[in-house]
Structure formats: C-alpha cells, structure tokens
Chains A and B, each alone.
Chain A
Amino acid sequence: MKKEKFLLIVVLIIIWQVLSLLKVFPPYKLPSPVDVVRGFGDLLIAGTPPGYLLHKHALYSLYRVLWGYGLACLLSIPLGLLMGWSKSLHTMLSTLVDIVRPIPPLAWIPIAILWFGIGMKSAAFIIFLGAFPPILLSTISGVNSINPRLIEAAKTLHAGEKDIFFKVLLPGSIPSIFTGMRIGIGIAWMTLVAAEFTGVKEGYGLGYMIMTSRDLQLPGEIIAGMLVIGVIGLIIDKGIRIAEAKIIKWN
C-alpha cells in the first residue's frame, strides 16, 4: 500500500479538524471529524432510527443492488453481444434504447412505485434501469472493437457462426464488458441510495438511513453514512477488478 495514497486524505482530515476547532463553519453545517466518528459509532451501536443497526441497513441495500444489477447484467450482456454482432438487430433496438437511456432512473420512481410498490421490487427496478444502459453500450462497443481480421481469419479456418460468437467475439469483448460492469455498478449504487430516499417498506437501507439522520438533525451521522456508502462502493469496485483480472488470465 503506497503511503502517498493516504497522505492527502490525512492532510485533508487534519485541515478539516482545525477548521472545526476554529469554528469557521457552524457545527451543524460542517460537523468535525470527531463528530463524524461519533456519528459512525451511533450508527453502528445504537442505530438510526434507534434500534435499526448499520449492518442491517447495508445488507438490505446490497441485496437490492444485487437484484437490480444482476438482472441488468443478465439481460444487457447477451443483448449487447447480439446487437454488436447483428447490424439489423442493432438498428431495430438502438432507437428505443437511445430514447429510454437519457431518462434519469430517479424520474422513474413515481411509476416504479405505482407498478411495484415501495418494497424490494421497485428499488431493484430503478437500479436495473440505471445499470442496464452502460453495460449494454460497453458490450456493443466491445464487439465492434474486435479486429475484423480476427473474424476473417476464423472464417478462413472454416469456423461456424456459433464458434465465431463464442470463441472470438465473446472473449474479445470481455475487457469492454467489464468496463461497462464497473460503470454500471457505480451507477447502480448511486441510484439505490437516492431511490431509497422516497421510502422503503422493509425499513432498512443506507439511503433511508441517511434520510432518517437528516430527519433527526444529526449531520455527524449523515456524513458518517455517506462515507460508509462510499467505502462499500469502493470495495465493490475492487471486487469487480479482481474478478476481471482472474477471468482475463483464464482466457
């Protein structure tokens, strides 16, 4: 672990604590690092709202992301490969995708609540909408970026369509697919937190937790919650990178 990575963070925290001690900003606008640590302790031990502990909030959020994101990958990767491969399919579907794509997932929330209610399904749906386009587009571009000579070479070796698809296109697209997946999980995680702001039936979720900290006017907890979300996002991203490295090696 390089020391320089953490140097900047440590310096920023020190500056932050000094600013708080000097009361440059009122504590309810910028809680000090100490307040944030205290807030984190409260989230972990007492829970916000009282009795609802941090780890359960995190687990429910992760569960929702798993569903929405998993579904997005399952649908967008095969579809992306097919659309990259077949010009006619691409022409047919791309307009639809281009119309739906710019609509922010959060704009779907009222409809999602009408269709799926305020539970797991509607949150998963919003996340799905956020993650689907980047994975799809990266997959398509991954297919398109394969050197056409490889395909020609495969054809001269009398490779059938199926072989070209599974042995040339798929492996060649993997780097792009993983890029799309990493973008997708980032968007999925961000969308989840905001989607939970509107209410979750289960009573647990990181976005919901932050909203509760806001209701109870505890800015130290709000920032602690935000940092937890950031760290979890970081861990997920690292996880995908490790999976990517393993799969590419195996390839």
Chain B
Amino acid sequence: MKKIMLSLTALFLLTTSAFADPVRVGYLQSDIHQLPFWVALEKGFFEKEGVTVTVAGVFKAGPELMSGFSAGVLDMGYVGAAPTITAVANKAADVVMLAQVNTEGSALIVGKDSPVKNIKDLAGKTVAIPGFSTVQDALFRKAVTVQGLSLDRQKTIVLKPPEMIGALRSGQIDAFIAWEPFPAKAVSMDTGRYLLYSRDIWKDHPCCVLVAGREYLKKNEDQAKKIVRAHMQAVAYIKKNPRESMAVAVKYTGMDEKTIQLAMDNVKYTHILSVAGIKEYTDFLRNLKYIKNDDQSFADRIMLPDFTEKSVK
C-alpha cells in the first residue's frame, strides 16, 4: 500500500511540475507586427522550449490590451510601445519590456482618388487613428508637427482598424493611419493609396514590444526567458523563411497573399529593444499631456534591454 501511495505521489508531483501554469499571453487582432508570436505558436517553438502558452486575449488595440494587464488576466503581451508607456506612466499597469517585436510597419493611407498629395494637404481634414496613445497616434502627430503644422486644425478620431477601410471608402474620413496589414488591405482593395510609410515619418521607429507583468516576471523569470527565446527564434525564422511566414500571417489575419506580401514589405522584425526610440516616445507622450509623469528615469525602469542576452546564456 505504501509503495502505491509513494509512486502515485511521485507521479502526481512529476505531472504537475511538467505542467506548470501556462503563460497567459495577449496580442492584437490581425496586427501583422505580432507575426513572431503566431509563428512561434504554429511552429512549436514554445513547446520546444518546454513552456505552455495560452492565448488569454485578442485585443482590438494597444490600450485595450493594457487594460488586460490592469485586470490581471495577462502575464505577457505583444503590444505597441506607446500604449505600454502610457499605461505604466499613468499607473494603470506595471509591466516591463523584455524584447522588441518590430520596427516601422504602419502607414498613412488616403483615398485612392484623393487630391491629398502630402501631409500639408491634410490640414483641417479628418484622420482616423486606432486609439489615443497608440504608436500610430504618436506617429501621426509627429508627422504633423515636423511639418510645422498646427495640431489644432487636425481632426483626429478613433476607429478600430477594420472600420477604417470602410470609413475611407464611404468618404467618412479623409485618411487613416494604422498598423499593417490594414494599409495594405486598403490598397489591395483599390480603396486607398499610401501617402506616407511610417518609416518616412521616423526611420527605424520602434513599434511593438514583448512585455511582461513585473510581478509575474519576478516569480517566473525562467519561464519568461523561455518565451523570449522562442520569440527570438521566431524572428530569425521569419527572416529566413518569408514564404512560410507569409502563410502563417494569412492564417491569422484572414487576408489574401497579395495584401500580406505588401504588408510584410513594410515591417522590420527584430528582437533588439530600441532604447533611444522608446525614450523618445516617452518624451513625446509627455508633451502631448497624455502622461502626467515627470519622472525622467521612468523610461529606463520600464525597459530590460539585457533580457534577450540573459535569456540565451
């Protein structure tokens, strides 16, 4: 009897330790920047690292994903750097950035037959952004202010990217700025054309990052390292296997190959945190009065640029 109890206990401990709590990850719906996550899921990179992942939420925009952290339903997330900074600065969530996911990869789209030739022509017109404090919001305002135009004359409204294309087509808005593949979709649908790629506004600007809740990270650093390793492998995979990666993107966005090809041409995948770029976002958001945090060391505390190196040691 004792032997049976002992072996049952051993079996129990073995199985429960093998099945540690899965990591709850969130990402943004149909956002091709998040392709590394989808690739890692499809190609089994997480399993190979010995970690189980559960998709705890698919969100329509960055600020909503950050609410997931506030609500305690996420351990890690693929999300834009700008909404992350806003949420942490306004003390709505406590996360740290472990790795970069992509740079560039957004675009400003106008109607196909629109008379708008450059950003100056957009003065006083209605432009849609995916949400306040998103990367696209920051990019658009940067584009406007760099041209010396006043932001006051700009009518910005919030629409979720899937709605932007329809709104552009029916003339409700004059332009939209969104993450790929929505700009590409507008073009391949013959509804819009590229006015500005985000790299034209700010070369190599950081976009999505892989973040983790600070409390979660403290208790599960090894698990987080596994996720980051899988992420790094996925980034490398995309660079070496564009066709297979495209197939994964088609599956997760539901869009056609032509659109995805166009979209992926506009995105740069990397795991190296753009520290300078993220600091620049912080200053910009502060100037826009989105964040009421004057702490200059804030940006340093939110990033862990050595984490990717630590993960592969």
Q: Is the pair B172, A118 in contact by a Cβ cutoff of 8 Å?
A: yes
Q: Is the pair B66, A217 in contact by a Cβ cutoff of 8 Å?
A: yes
Residue of A nearest to B156 (CB): A203
Q: Is the pair B163, A113 in contact by a Cβ cutoff of 8 Å?
A: yes
Q: How far is the CB of A116 from the nearest CB of chain B, in Å?
A: 10
Does A208 count as interface, using CB distance less than 8 angstroms?
yes
User: CB-defined interface of A155-169 with B at 8 Å, one 1/0 digit per residue?
Assistant: 000000000000000
Residue of A nearest to B289 (CB): A50
Q: Which of A119, A200, A212, A217 contacts B93 (CB 8 A)?
A: A217
Query: Known contacts A211-B158, A215-B133: does B172 contact A119 (CB below 8 Å)?
Result: yes
Task: Give Cα A199 to B133, complex, Å.
Answer: 16
Counting from the closest, the 6 A-B pairs by CB-CB distance are A217-B92, A215-B63, A217-B90, A215-B132, A199-B159, A28-B92
Task: Give Cα A29 to B167, complex, Å.
Answer: 34
Does B245 count as interface, using CB distance less than 8 angstroms?
no
Q: Which residues of A contact B86 (CB under 8 A)?
A: 215-217
Q: Is the pair B90, A216 in contact by a Cβ cutoff of 8 Å?
A: yes
Residue of A nearest to B71 (CB): A29
Q: Report which A residues bind B (CB closer than 8 A).
A: 27-29, 46, 49-51, 113-114, 117-119, 198-203, 208, 211-212, 214-219
Q: Is the pair B63, A114 in contact by a Cβ cutoff of 8 Å?
A: no
Q: Which residues of B contact A219 (CB under 8 A)?
A: 92
**Size bracket, chain B contacts:** 35 or more
Q: Is the pair A217, B152 in contact by a Cβ cutoff of 8 Å?
A: no
Q: Which of A51, A117, A216 contacts B170 (CB 8 A)?
A: A117
Q: Which of A28, A113, A117, A216 contacts B133 (CB 8 A)?
A: A216
Does B87 count as interface, using CB distance less than 8 angstroms?
yes
Does B126 count as interface, using CB distance less than 8 angstroms?
yes
Residue of B nearest to A42 (CB): B292
Q: Which of A50, A118, A208 has the most CB of B within 10 A?
A: A118
Q: Is the pair A201, B172 in contact by a Cβ cutoff of 8 Å?
A: yes
User: CB-defined interface of B150-178 with A at 8 Å, one 1/0 digit per residue?
Assistant: 00100111111001001100101100000
Does B311 count as interface, using CB distance less than 8 angstroms?
no
Residue of A nearest to B70 (CB): A28
Q: Which of B61, B66, B91, B128 has the most CB of A within 10 A?
A: B91
Q: Which residues of A contact B133 (CB under 8 A)?
A: 215-217
Task: Give Cα A113 to B163, complex, Å.
Answer: 9
Can you identify 15 A-B contacts, CB atoms within 8 angstroms? A28-B92, A29-B70, A49-B132, A49-B290, A50-B290, A113-B167, A117-B167, A117-B172, A118-B173, A212-B158, A214-B63, A214-B67, A215-B134, A217-B63, A217-B70
Q: Which residues of B contact A202 (CB under 8 A)?
A: 157
Q: Which residues of B contact A119 (CB under 8 A)?
A: 172
